[in-house]
Structure 1
């Protein structure tokens, strides 16, 4: 019986979070443009699907298309958060950064998140805009880590993974004993 009670609490809590994030999404994006891109008749229909007081509901396929087209995964992340699942958008890997640049970029993003945490620690109320900005930084850091992992996987599946990593290490300025 306790399980049913906790499930209802999760459902109520999750519905409140979902309604809030859908309202924020509708305020922060151009509904007309997104509706036409994902194949919904009008921005009004999309806005209605994001409005909890309307009978229209956002179906999973529309949600996926909406997140992909807008580049904003906050609705999806809100739905998954209490399940212990985090979604990570993989950034465009057109920017060809090497392993060292990815590690250093991750340090920059971690520093920015740490600064946000220090700023949040001294405030009593966290505005939604600050929350969204910090979450966007964290998502960016996670995306960078995914590309870092992909790079490592690519490098360690070849015939000579240590030679590949070693040559990059020395090519990027590592001191060689006896030659410095």
Structure 2
């Protein structure tokens, strides 16, 4: 991936409770990507995306789009990032069932027909196979970047911890 400018990223799942979603929204829009959020209304409240529509000085605003139905969010997507659905949301009655969630928001091979042919799948982990994403997609080396994403995430965290813990001096 040379440049994210103009690329479409669909972020699917529990947007409301996800730090991963928030940091990706800020980062992706700063890089010029078009971000589409999709999830059940209980996990993606009305107006949520508007809080992320920002513009740098002298730049035009980069809107973040919000959907409650999967197909419009996936339409021509270059990337699809699914987020882990935490099982405690079930006890909070934010969803009827995991099966119902998968039926409406689970990423399957059939649903990817709405996306670009070159679409790539991401998930920050850990995953609930068969809930956020079907197992065959998770393991498909032509579509899934999940293993690389998890591996790189560890290295990035290690580097950040090193930088935070190392004293730095400024040169004048």
Q: Where is the strand percentage greater, Structure 1 or Structure 2? A: 2
Radius of gyration: which is bigger?
Answer: 1
Answer yes or no: same fold by TM over 0.5: no
Structure possessing the higher relative contact order (Cα contacts under 8 Å, 6 or more residues apart): 2
Q: Shorter-chain TM-score: what band?
A: under 0.3
Question: Which structure is higher in helix share?
Answer: 1
TM-score, with length taken from structure 1: 0.26
User: Taking structure 2 as the reference length, what is the TM-score of the superposition?
Assistant: 0.27
